């Protein structure tokens, strides 16, 4: 499942931006900044760092626009740049995990709850997760990326991504049950 | 008022930044190089790199499956430099634990290589060097094009392939013991 199932209307803007039209790129920025920033914020848990990552990601995207393949999803491409920017800026980068237990069976990335949970409480529980588990949960569970896409963005194996999501779900459930704060 | 949700994907995906980032972005792109208008071309060396890496892995796979008789032979150098350029290397490859594991593997593989018959050793070492040369070429290309997601992916997967190959060579030695 792609995070954006709606048809993207960015094609003309992208084409103009590729030719150096900064106004067109500003429009793309306005359309996408919320989602890119949301992703950076959830991955960094730091508002200042998230804003810096978001800003850098758009600057990198501008520079890389001539190499953007028009048939790809622009938002996925942007998110990939943003994730890489976050990973680069982390003081302790995520490990290149080569041998993490694969939970085996495919697990539905979207997590649901039997009883409604307060948004604030859920955000706090996500924020409290360990970095690797949080990354997998944010990309797969919240932003809808498949394991293969998320693993590729994070530079980890697909099995590692599945294992991290499995771990995230367990921890999240546990923390929500006992109250995060 | 705090909203309640029953699914994690009901949380807001769009969170606007606390300030408008556009002025800084605009200034940065105005100060930088103009965007090239040419249609991107896939680097001509990419298929060659992929093929070289594939050939190297197949060669290693064939060689480690054969019976190797230990003997004393001169040292064979292996590349001890993982992807180095910090500006362009994906974060996962700069991780200290990865580098430590790779260094350890290289030491063990070096020992294993020394125990191989010369002909086998040269083939395995040449295959490993082909892989490492591929990694260096990808890294050099990333230096010219740091935001290229394809190259970043290719670099990570090539480094993972290298680790798998090194592990396979090392484990062959362990199995024989």
Give me the pLDDT at residue B89, please.
65
CA–CA distance, A165 with A111 (Å, rounded to integer):
10
Give me the pLDDT at residue B174, please.
57
Give me the pLDDT at residue A175, please.
87
Pairwise pLDDT comparison (B132 vs A98), residue with the higher score: B132
Q: Residue B91 is nearest to which of A41, A94, A117, comparing CB atoms?
A: A94
Residue boundaries of the structural domains of chain B:
95-177
Give me the pLDDT at residue B75, please.
43
Q: Is the pLDDT of residue B20 over 50?
A: yes
B16, B20, B21: best to mutate for the A interface, most A CBs within 10 A? B21
Residues A129-173 have pLDDT tens digits of 999 999 999 999 999 999 999 999 999 999 999 999 999 999 998
Whether residues A81 and B149 touch (CB distance < 8 A) is answered with yes
Q: Residue B18 is nearest to which of A35, A47, A63, comparing CB atoms?
A: A47
Shared fold status for A11-89 and A96-181: no
Q: CATH code for A11-89?
A: 1.10.1740.10
A67, A80, A126: best to mutate for the B interface, most B CBs within 10 A? A67
SS3 per residue for B16-30: CCCCCCHHHHHHHHH
Pairwise pLDDT comparison (A7 vs A66), residue with the higher score: A66
Residues A89-107 have pLDDT tens digits of 875 444 443 334 444 554 5
Tokens of B101: 């594991």
Q: Residue B9 is nearest to which of A37, A62, A144, comparing CB atoms?
A: A144
Distance from CA of B59 to the nearest CA of A (A): 22
Q: What is the ipTM of this complex?
A: 0.80
A170 interfaces chain B, CB cutoff of 8 Å? no
SS3 per residue for chain B: CCCEEEEHHHCCCCCCCCCCCHHHHHHHHHHCCCCCCCCCCCCCCHHHHHHHHHHHHHHHHHHHCCCCCCCCCCCCCCCCCCCCCCCCCCHHHHCHHHHHHHHHHHHHHHHHHHCCCHHHHHHHHHHHHHHHHHHHHHHHHHHHCCCCHHHHHHHHHHHHHHHHHHHHHHHHHHHHC
The pTM is what? 0.55
Q: Is the pLDDT of residue B69 over 50?
A: no
Distance from CA of A162 to the nearest CA of B (A): 17
Can you tell me the mean pLDDT for B82-99?
62
Q: In the CATH hierarchy, which fold is given to the domain comprising A96-181?
A: Arc Repressor Mutant, subunit A (1.10.10)
Distance from CA of B104 to the nearest CA of A (A): 15
Residue boundaries of the structural domains of chain A:
11-89, 96-181
pLDDT, mean over chain B:
69
Chain B: residue whose CA lies nearest to A56: B25
Could you give phi then psi for residue B106, rounded to 5 degrees? -60, -40
Strand partners of residue B4: A118
Which residues 19-38 of A are in CB contact (within 8 Å) with B? 19-20, 22, 25-26, 29-30, 33-35, 37-38
């Amino acid at each position: 499942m792609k995070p954006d199932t709606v048809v993207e209307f960015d094609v003309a803007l992208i084409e103009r931006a590729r030719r150096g039209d900064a106004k067109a790129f500003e429009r793309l920025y306005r359309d996408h900044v919320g989602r890119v920033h949301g992703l950076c914020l959830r991955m960094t848990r730091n508002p200042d760092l998230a804003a810096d990552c978001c800003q850098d990601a758009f600057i990198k995207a501008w520079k890389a626009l001539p190499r953007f393949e028009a048939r790809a999803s622009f938002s996925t491409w942007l998110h990939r740049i943003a994730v890489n920017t976050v990973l680069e800026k982390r003081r302790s980068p995520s490990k290149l995990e080569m041998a993490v237990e694969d939970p085996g069976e495919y697990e539905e990335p979207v997590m649901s709850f039997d009883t409604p949970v307060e948004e604030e409480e859920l955000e706090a529980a996500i924020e409290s997760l360990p970095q690797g588990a949080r990354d997998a949960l944010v990309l797969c569970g919240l932003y809808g990326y498949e394991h293969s896409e998320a693993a590729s963005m994070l530079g980890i194996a697909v099995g590692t991504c599945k294992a991290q999501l499995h771990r995230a779900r367990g921890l999240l459930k546990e923390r929500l049950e006992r109250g995060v704060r | 008022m705090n909203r309640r949700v029953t699914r994690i994907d009901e949380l807001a995906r769009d969170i606007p930044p606390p300030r408008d980032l556009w002025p800084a972005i605009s200034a940065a792109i105005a100060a930088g190089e103009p965007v090239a208008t040419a249609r991107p071309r896939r680097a001509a060396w990419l298929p060659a790199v992929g093929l070289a890496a594939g050939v190297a892995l197949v060669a290693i796979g064939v060689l480690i499956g054969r019976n190797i008789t230990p003997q004393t032979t001169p040292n064979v150098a292996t590349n001890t430099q993982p992807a180095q350029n910090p500006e362009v290397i994906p974060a996962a490859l700069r991780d200290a634990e990865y580098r430590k594991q790779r260094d350890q593997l290289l030491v063990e593989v070096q020992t294993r290589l020394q125990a191989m018959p010369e002909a086998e050793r040269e083939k395995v070492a040449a295959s490993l060097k082909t892989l490492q040369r591929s990694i260096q070429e990808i890294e050099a290309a990333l230096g010219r094009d740091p935001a290229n997601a394809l190259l970043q992916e290719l670099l990570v997967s090539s480094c993972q392939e290298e680790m798998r190959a090194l592990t396979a060579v090392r484990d062959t030695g362990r199995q024989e013991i």
